[in-house]
Amino acid sequence: METQRQKKIGGVIQKDIADVLQRAATDGGLRGTLISVSKVVVTTDLSIAKVYVSIFPTKDAQELLKGIKSNQPLIKHELAQRTRNQLRRMPELLFFLDDSLEYIDGIEKSLKGVNNPIENPDLLEKRKKA
C-alpha cells in the first residue's frame, strides 16, 4: 500500500521526468518518437523510484531503454535540478519498459478481427486430448 507521501513524490517525478525524456529524445534526433511515463512507483524509504516508460513506435523501444539507462546519472541530475524545491533527496531511478499499450493494441486488433482466432483457428494453440 502506497502512502500519500510516496504517491506525491511519484507524481512529481512522473511529471518532470516525462519532460526530460521527451526533450532528450528530440535533442537526440528522434523526432518521431513519443516517450511517455506511464507510472512511477517510489519505495517506502523513498530511496528508489521505479519509472515505467512506454515508447512509441515500439520497434525502437529496447534500444531507447538502453540509452535511457546508460544516461541515468544525467537524467537524475536534470530531474534533481527541476525538483530541488520539492524534494530534498532524489531517489535512485530504475527504468522499465511498460508494454501495456502494446498489449492493449494486440487485444484491440483481435477484437477488430485482424487476428481473429474464431475466423482463423490456426492462431490458437492446439489442445492436447488427455
Dig out the grid coordinates for 1 from the structure.
500500500
| Buried/exposed 95-120: b ≥16 CB within 10 Å, e otherwise | bebbbeeeeeeeeeeeeeeeeeeeee
CATH 3.40.630.30 corresponds to the domain 4-122: no
Higher local confidence (pLDDT), 106 or 125: 106
Res 10: pLDDT: 93
In angstroms, the CA 2 to CA 37 distance is 18
The model's pTM: 0.74
Res 7: pLDDT: 92
Q: Which amino acid is at 32?
A: G
Count other C-beta atoms under 10 Å from residue 14's C-beta. 19
Q: What is the pLDDT of residues 47-100, one digit of tens each?
A: 999 999 988 877 878 888 898 899 899 999 999 999 888 888 899 999 999 877
Helix (H) or strand (E) holding 30: none
Contact criterion met (CB below 8 Å) for 80 and 89: no
In angstroms, the CA 78 to CA 14 distance is 13
Count other C-beta atoms under 10 Å from residue 62's C-beta. 11
What does the domain layout of the chain look like in residue ranges?
A: 4-122
Res 122: pLDDT: 65
Q: How confident is the model at residue 28 (pLDDT cuts 50, 70, 90)?
A: confident
- Strand duo 48-56 + 34-42: pairing: antiparallel
Select, from the ranges 22-31, 57-66, 107-116, the one with the highest average predicted confidence (pLDDT).
Answer: 57-66
In angstroms, the CA 17 to CA 15 distance is 6
Strand partners, 48: 92
